[in-house]
Amino acid sequence: MQMLFTARRVSCVVPSAQSNRTIFEDLSFDVDRGQIVDLVGPSGSGKSSLLTAFALLNPHADGTFTLDGADSSSFSLQQWRRNVAYLPQKPMLMGDSVADTIRLPWTLAVRRADEASAPDDHAATGKKTSARRGRFSRLFRSEQSQAKLALPDQLIRNTLDAMGCEDIDLARAPHDLSGGQAARVSLARTLLTRPA
């Protein structure tokens, strides 16, 4: 039976001036679809280091990871991270509103597509002109509009409501949220990206 996610021989060694510090070594395990796993241990024992290793975000970690039988090396970093999400303990919320914050992955995805198809006519000179800044501003507004079509307010509202967050207004500024509300908004954003 093929597991959804496998980790084999995972190690994390952090270099320092005095000597290298081994956080963990030779860990292996499987997680199946729908399975919930609790990762527990004292502060500083390497829980976050292990989770960032899974998302290929930890430069000090090494190991072999597979998703639905496919090795992580067969994915681009963006493809892997789209499927293996890491939700940090401290939420990072950017945007003018809760809705903008939740839509950020879609806004950035649209921007990446625009950048890939639009040549930078100032690349040779490296000059930043007001025309270029104006073009960027127009592109960003356009990206936000496209992201809103891809992730409408009602879908965001339904997701937050299903999480017990009926009290969070989509127009509210993210910096006005309580710590718990910010964590739930960050979780909603991650869930809406539908990682494997």
**Which of 72, 151, 170, 56 is closest to 108 using CA atoms?**
151
**Which of 160, 145, 153, 147 is closest to 190 using CA atoms?**
160
Residue located via tokens 């950020």: 104
Global model pTM greater than 0.75: no
CA dist., res. 187 & res. 181, Å (int) = 10
Looking at the fold, whether 76 and 103 belong to one and the same domain comes out as: no
Looking at the fold, whether 73 and 138 belong to one and the same domain comes out as: no
pLDDT per residue as tens digits for the range 106-149: 887 654 544 444 444 444 444 444 555 554 445 445 667 788 88
CA dist., res. 7 & res. 73, Å (int) = 13
How many folded domains does the chain comprise? 2
Structural domain span for residue 20:
5-83
Given a cut of 50, the residues of the chain with pLDDT beneath it are 111, 113-129, 135-137, 139-140
- In this structure, what token pair is assigned to residue 138? 């127009």
